[in-house]
Amino acid sequence: MGINIGMLLLSLAMKFISAKIQNSKSEQAERELKAKTTDHAQEIKSNTRGSVYPVKVIYGRHRIGGNNIYVTTGGAHRRELYYAQTLAEGPNQGIVNDESSRPYVWFDDERIYSRYAGLYTMSEKTGTSTQTQDTIINTDNSEFTDTMRYTAYTAWKLDFDEDKFRGIPNITYLYDGRLLYDFRTSTTAWSDNPVLALYDFFTNDRYGLGLDSSSIDTTSWGEVADYCETKSFKINMVVALSEDNVWDVVEKIKLLFRGELNFWNGIYYLRYRDLYDETSQLTITDDHIVQQSNGKAMISVTDPGNYDTPKGLRVTYISDNDNTYIQDSFIIGDETGVITEFNLKGCTDRSMAGKLGTSELENQQLNRTIAGRFRDDCLLLEPNDVVTFNSTALNIADQTMRVKSVTYNSLGFIDLVLKYDNLYVYDDVYNINPEDIYTTTLPDPSVASLVENATRSEERRVGKECRSRWSPYH
């Protein structure tokens, strides 16, 4: 009987690899990669095996699976199973314990301290630069000698019990990820502040951009980090660079606090969008607007068609309810109209997802822009700056707008695209009506109006879509 059980264990172990995995890609691992589903939460809780899987980067807290890198059997009648799983880039805080100091670890979605008590021994390495080799595996085996520095992993010894184990279990962990450097205090500790995570990703040369800290304006970044703590904007995100390139990761982190990056003179400046905390950088008047030789202002209004204006927004996030960490979604706005997608991969809180989703939908619906040529008084404006706009040609007074783009042309003038903005976008309530915010309107087609350069275009999609663009009559 013992020999049969030993052979069963050996067979199970061989399915995951009977010795150290070689560096070459296995055909099985490649098939597993192609078979990944679109459920991000389920993917990162699944156990994998093979060198084709990059080590994850964990920011904040998440429930994760491991990647099996070593499996073997041992003990009397080979009834003991030894294996190691890589978890994440280190150093990390590590596996979370409950109030009774029991680790949040699951075998096939069942906490290990109940059904499997006395049948396992586990050791954990958090990925420090000085960690030593594991002793659990090396007690009976001398093959696994790698210290795995900078990589967090667990080592396991399972005592086979045919009444408890139906195979090698899928193991998941509730895990606190990277220890992050806080440039505001010059300290390093675990944190779920998304700005500190972004700083880590910018400066880390193993998995991030590898930029020197001198290329980051820590003053502006510190202001945004403080803002995130005030708003309780947090990051709980698993980064797998097999799925995302580095700039995709940057964009996904920025979504968690409405962040914007500006690059100027070799330095990255960080901003956030929230009119409750921002002030106007410039009041633009007719004196700033360049005029043609005939006295006409070089300015125009663009109003996208209804087809391009969403009526609703589907917010997708990872729900941490009862430590399940499952993918969930909900719709803000009109569920019967055009719906756009908003994926908050690094958010595990429904309330935070709702606030950011509401702001995003209102921002997309408030989509009228003004483009024009301006004098060099506007030279210091940057994308994302808030301005107060006035134009007698457009009949606009004291309109809050946000700089969308800045272009310096060869004639010495500044070409700006300005987008409407309003406090409603940032009050966490879906209550916007763009027509109440626009202080100028397109001409009423039922009334003869004096306009110039009017154009009308049609796009045939499901029906016909009309777009309008016009310049004021002078």
Please name the residue that has the structure tokens 């966490």: 428
- pLDDT over 90, % of the chain: 66
The rounded Cα 288 to chain-centroid distance in angstroms is 38
pLDDT of residue 297: 95
- pLDDT above 80: residue 379: yes
Q: Which residues are CB-contacts of 434 (< 8 A; sequence separation ≥ 6)?
A: 365, 366, 367, 368, 420
- State the Cα–Cα distance between residues 388 and 402, nearest whole angstrom: 9
Residue 464 has what pLDDT? 47
Structural tokens at position 392: 């007698």
| Res. 21: pLDDT tops 70 | no
- Write out pLDDT tens, residues 50-66: 777 889 999 999 999 99
How far is C-alpha 152 from the chain's CA centre? 22
Can you give the pLDDT at residue 202? 98
Asked if 400 and 407 count as a contact pair (C-beta separation under 8 A), the reply is no
- The pLDDT of residue 99 is above 90: yes
Nearest CA-CA partner of 312 in 326, 329, 327: 329
* More confident call, 447 vs 98: 98
pLDDT in tens, 178-223: 999 999 999 999 999 999 999 999 999 999 999 999 999 999 999 9
Q: Decide: residue 389, CB within 10 A, 0-12 exposed, 13-18 middle, 19+ buried.
A: buried
pLDDT tens by residue, 310-341? 999 999 999 999 999 999 999 999 988 899 99
Averaged pLDDT, 130-159 = 86
* 417 Cβ contact partners less than 8 Å away, ≥ 6 residues apart: 369, 370, 371, 403, 404, 405
The mean pLDDT value for 350-362 works out to 98
HSE value, Cβ hemisphere, 13 Å, CA-based, for 402: 20
Give the model's confidence band at 468: pLDDT under 50 very low, under 70 low, under 90 confident, else very high.
low
pTM score? 0.84
Across-strand partners of 92?
178
Q: What is the pLDDT averaged over residues 161-172?
A: 86
Q: Which of 26-30, 287-291, 293-297, 469-473 has the lowest mean pLDDT?
A: 26-30
Average pLDDT of the residues in 17-31: 39
Express each pLDDT in 114-126 by its tens digit. Answer: 889 999 999 999 9
Q: In this structure, what token pair is assigned to residue 310?
A: 């969403």
Structure tokens at 98: 């409950």
Spell out a b/e string for 156-177, using b for 16 or more CB atoms within 10 Å of the CB, else e: bbbebeeeebeebbebbbbbbb
Residue 377: the pLDDT is 92
Q: What average pLDDT does this structure show over 435-449?
A: 64
218-240: per-residue pLDDT in tens? 999 999 999 999 999 999 999 98
Query: What is the average pLDDT value for the chain, to the nearest integer?
Result: 86
Strand partners, 58: 238
115's CB contacts (< 8 A; 6+ apart) are 107, 164
Residue 458 reports pLDDT greater than 60: no
CA distances from 353 to 175, 181, 448 (A): 21, 26, 46
For residues 185, 191, 193, 195, the Cα torsion angle rounded to the nearest 10 degrees is 60
Over 60: is that where the pLDDT of 104 sits?
Answer: yes
